[in-house]
A = this chain, B = another copy of it.
Amino acid sequence: MDGDNNPQIGGIAADALKQTIDRIERLEEEKKALAADIKDVYSQAKSQGFDTKIIRKIVSLRKIEASEREEAEQLLELYMAAIGMA
């Protein structure tokens, strides 16, 4: 190694790589924490006497409804574009 602090090691921008990995790991930590939170909410619901299976079903149904709305909008946009109105 020479004495400078050139971040290029083996042709790779080491510092930039390190920062990238750090950001990913931080974001994944947060994501993991949210997953744990969701799990907690289900646990609490269960201890309140709710049937988590039903709750999961409701959530998934509403998710489908949301994506259908989204798809429909995108389809409309496609049509508009197709007939030159976009």
User: B71, A24: Cβ atoms under 8 Å?
Assistant: no
Known contacts A54-B78, A54-B82, A83-B10, A31 near B24 by CB under 8 Å: no
A70 to chain B, nearest CB (A): 9
Interface of A is mostly: helix
A-B CB proximity, top 7 nearest: A31-B34, A61-B71, A64-B68, A57-B75, A20-B45, A27-B38, A54-B78
Spell out A's residues near B (CB within 8 Å). Answer: 10-13, 16-17, 20-21, 23-25, 27-28, 30-31, 34-35, 37-38, 41-42, 44-45, 48-51, 53-55, 57-62, 64-65, 67-68, 71-72, 74-75, 78-79, 82-83
